[in-house]
Amino acid sequence: MTTNRLQAFSDGVFAVAITLLVFNLTVPNAASGHLWRALRDEWPYFASYLVSFFVIGIIWVNHHTIFDRIARVDRPLLFLNLVLLVWVVLIPFPTQLLAKYIQSGSDSHVAAAAYSGTMFLMSVAFSALWSYAVFSHDLLDERIDPRVARSALPRFASGVAIYAVTIGVAFVNAVVCLALHAVIALYYVFDQISTSDSPAAGAQDLPQPDQIRSPGAE
Amino acid sequence: MTTNRLQAFSDGVFAVAITLLVFNLTVPNAASGHLWRALRDEWPYFASYLVSFFVIGIIWVNHHTIFDRIARVDRPLLFLNLVLLVWVVLIPFPTQLLAKYIQSGSDSHVAAAAYSGTMFLMSVAFSALWSYAVFSHDLLDERIDPRVARSALPRFASGVAIYAVTIGVAFVNAVVCLALHAVIALYYVFDQISTSDSPAAGAQDLPQPDQIRSPGAE
Amino acid sequence: MTTNRLQAFSDGVFAVAITLLVFNLTVPNAASGHLWRALRDEWPYFASYLVSFFVIGIIWVNHHTIFDRIARVDRPLLFLNLVLLVWVVLIPFPTQLLAKYIQSGSDSHVAAAAYSGTMFLMSVAFSALWSYAVFSHDLLDERIDPRVARSALPRFASGVAIYAVTIGVAFVNAVVCLALHAVIALYYVFDQISTSDSPAAGAQDLPQPDQIRSPGAE
Amino acid sequence: MTTNRLQAFSDGVFAVAITLLVFNLTVPNAASGHLWRALRDEWPYFASYLVSFFVIGIIWVNHHTIFDRIARVDRPLLFLNLVLLVWVVLIPFPTQLLAKYIQSGSDSHVAAAAYSGTMFLMSVAFSALWSYAVFSHDLLDERIDPRVARSALPRFASGVAIYAVTIGVAFVNAVVCLALHAVIALYYVFDQISTSDSPAAGAQDLPQPDQIRSPGAE
């Protein structure tokens, strides 16, 4: 299987998952004359819709950043990609869970932890995928220096650590936890913007495809 | 990331969003022998389905018109495209909201304003995207004359203004507001038809890709 | 806009619409020990799922058959394609409507007429699309002889006539009407099989792309 | 129709079907303070989500493995592919059915049999598709030796047999039946991993595209 085909399938999954987030929003049954208030009361659904939308958007950008540096796909990589997609496809569920329970006392912590846990497992899958690609002998694009590629691993690890922290924050305050996820998403967006054309979401130090490995560099 | 890949992902989102509109339509629980009447009573759902279908269809055409003139994608453009898609993906929600409350007195104004507001924010995102591309130094296709590209900006602004007007109309009459959205969509379709191969939805004056910038024109 | 891009977007819509048909099927709330019977009682949902699946499948094949003969896309064609897709995207709704009311006396006729009417309008849109392409001066692939292309129009008209007949049958018996739609779908599939590589669904006489127009044939 | 186009459409269907599995998971209405327990009680939904996700993932990989060896598409092959997709699109339904009834005594056997039966019919469709391609005169890629291709048929048959066995197991214990489906999916994944770049899901003995038929080998 070619990288292009795997990317096209994954893109399809990303596009469907990001669009299904709209089902998070349900038209309220408002008492006559109170529609505006009913909509305002649904703010957790709108807020979590927005946050999850940009989270999936950034995962999509990140996915391309990684696979643009990979030249060949073998079975374990295919499997690791499916594991990543399991968590991406799941995202609408914890999004709705968090929206429903974000104001529900002790249950809000459970819901926020489920949301953060999904993101944590997604980031673990991402790290596993990139680690496997980096330590394989023949998957990376030959223009990528494996040592430079490996130097990006700590950034992936810090992404995993950040999402682990959000699990802890979930047990403090669910609203703060959601806000933190928004900040993380914006950080990755704007961090990327400042460095313009470098990769996203913990992969900023990944070598660019045009960083051709200089022969005799070792 | 290449323009093609961004377009393919966006096309996927457009295709899913336009198809999900069918969930706007629910099979009625009609009293025995009254199915025809029950279906007739659902006319706001059918009407808003049709209007939103063509609105998304025109956004899709427009999106291609714009990105066919863009040669490179950088991070801010990627982010602006995600902001545009946030509103596109949202469309099924205000569509259903308007259908449900279009005959509900004061709530009908809130629902119509939510519908118009979504379209307004979508047109703002579109204008921001094109403005960013036009004023960047290196994103436009080099065959496009930046001055001609900039001359299309007032048309985008007028699109924003038209959708701002629909918000006002929402507070007058929700049915008229929906009809106005239908007229706007048809205008863009038929305006396009009359000028045959020019771009759509407020972008009619965009330069064609074959309008090669003549050297020394400045 | 290129034919390829229009086909890719349309394919996306077809793929989503055909997959959404599964929502037609709802898991029954069966009394303990009666799941098998509860599932059997849902036969109209399974039957209509199957019929609509193959109907959309054949529309998809047909759509390709037509656009493989078209070299250029202009605005009216783009608009006619959106009109066709309006009916394709709608299909899950009359499918569920028919399944729910197929055993409901006089309402069964309304539901079957809605199903047949959707197919009728879809076939009208298909005919309009092909007619427009055939009578345009510059849309057809230049290897296609316009006179041969025009000779396929009666077959499109007969497709429209067949679906008009199903509307009449809807008022006789809804189950027979659904069965008739199954037969029509199978006819197009097997008719196609017998003539092997010719186009589908009323387009069997369309010229093949390799039927190069012989110069001086007029 | 080209193989590429059929694969792109099928990929779209796979991507939508695999993503729709998330609707299997519904946010529980938990009594205050009991959300964690309510989520735990939904384990059959999570378990069946995971199993079906990897089943569809493996079908997708398998589908590519097969069509990468096919050079031409005729009408019967197109039809057989639609028959395969009918079962793929159906998968979210028996997945939800099994999750809902897996702990419901005699109904659990019906639900598990429906799940296994869907997989069985899917594997039959797969076998029919490959058999048709293998015994056709001109569909296989010319670099594939038909005799080697035919030698893969027993593996397809064993896949059919394995899924037939799961129908039997369904009537013994529904949980064991679901676990068996998980094991089958994992077997195909890891079997594939061990043989690295060979095809998946009962197609391991398929000839590789680079196994060029040596002339005069017969």
What Cα–Cα distance (Å) separates residue C133 from each residue in A4, C10, C66, C77, C158? 33, 17, 9, 7, 18
Q: Provide, rounded to the nearest whole percent, the portion of chain B with pLDDT above 90.
A: 55
The DSSP 8-state label assigned to residue B140 in this structure reads B
- The answer to whether the CB atoms of D22 and A89 lie below 8 A apart is yes
Contact status, residue D120 vs residue D160, Cβ threshold 8 Å: yes
Say what the pLDDT of residue B3 is. Answer: 84
Report CB contact under 8 Å: D13, C18: yes
Three-class SS state of C70: strand
Give chain D's contact residues with A (Cβ, < 8 Å): 8, 11-12, 14-16, 18-23, 25, 27, 30, 32-36, 39, 49-50, 53-54, 57, 60-61, 64, 189, 192-193, 196-197, 200
pTM: 0.88
ipTM for the assembly? 0.84
Please tell me the distance in Å from C41's CA to the nearest CA on chain D: 14
Instruction: Indicate the DSSP class of residue B144.
Output: S
Q: Under a CB-based contact definition with an 8 Å cutoff, are residues C98 and C178 in contact? A: yes
Residues of A in contact with D12 (CB under 8 A): 12
* pLDDT of amino acid C201: 36
Mean pLDDT of all residues in C162-172: 96
How far apart CA C31 and CA C48 sit, in angstroms, is 25
Q: Residue D62: its pLDDT value, please?
A: 87
Chains that touch C (3 or more CB pairs under 8 A): B, D
Instruction: Please report which confidence band the pLDDT of residue B153 belongs to, taking 50, 70 and 90 as the band edges.
Output: confident
CB under 8 Å to D216, separation ≥6 — which residues? none
Interface of C with D (CB under 8 A): 8, 11-12, 14-16, 18-23, 25, 27, 30, 32-36, 39, 49-50, 53-54, 57, 60-61, 64, 189, 192-193, 196-197, 200
Q: Which residues of C touch B18 (CB under 8 A)?
A: 13, 85, 89
Going from the C-alpha of D50 to that of each of C19, C171, D150, D185, the distances in angstroms are: 19, 45, 33, 10
Residue C189: pLDDT over 80:
no
* Locus of tokens 């104001």: A103
How many Cβ contacts (< 8 angstroms) between chains C and D?
82
DSSP string, C107-154: HHHHHHHHHHHHHHHHHHHHHHHHHHHHHSSS-B-TTS-HHHHHTTHH
pLDDT value for C154? 82
User: Is a pLDDT exceeding 50 seen at residue C217?
Assistant: no
> Mean pLDDT across the stretch C17-42?
93
C202-216 per-position pLDDT tens digit: 344 444 444 433 333
Structure tokens at C214: 């012989």
8 A C-beta contact, residue A51 and residue A178: yes
Band the pLDDT of C39: cuts 50, 70, 90: very high
The pLDDT value given to residue A99: 96
Model pLDDT, residue A53: 96
Mean pLDDT per block of 10 residues along chain A (218 residues) reads 86 95 93 92 95 94 87 88 96 96 94 97 93 84 78 83 96 96 86 46 43 37
Q: Cα distance from A85 to chain D (closest Cα, Å)?
A: 9
The pLDDT of residue D12 is 94
Q: What is the pLDDT of residue D191?
A: 65
pLDDT reported for residue A192: 55
CA distance D155 to chain A (A): 19
Residue B2 pLDDT level (bands cut at 50, 70, 90): confident
Count CB-CB contacts under 10 A for residue D26: 12
Give the range among C118-132, D97-111, D119-133, D187-201 with minimum mean pLDDT. D187-201
Q: Cβ contacts (< 8 Å) between D49 and chain A: which residues?
A: 90
Tokens found for residue D171: 């009537």
Top-confidence range, B188-192, B211-215, C97-101, C103-107 = C97-101
pLDDT at residue B203 in the model: 41
Q: Each residue of B89-106: pLDDT tens digit? A: 999 999 999 999 999 989
Which residue did the predictor score with more confidence, D189 or C20? C20
Residue C140 dihedral angles phi and psi, to the nearest 5°: -65, 150
The answer to whether B82 contacts A196, with C-beta atoms less than 8 Å apart, is no
Please give the residue of chain B at the shortest CA–CA distance from A32: B107
Whether the CB-CB separation of A87 and A121 falls below 8 Å is answered with: yes
Contacts of C78 in chain B (CB under 8 A): 61
Q: Which residues of A touch B1 (CB under 8 A)?
A: 61, 64
pLDDT number for residue D202: 38
- The percentage of residues in chain C with a pLDDT greater than 90, rounded to a whole number, is 55
A202 backbone dihedrals φ, ψ, rounded to 5°: 80, 5
Per-residue model confidence (pLDDT) at position A128: 93
Residue showing tokens 């495209």 = B81
CA distance A16 to C56: 20
Which amino acid does the sequence have at C34? H
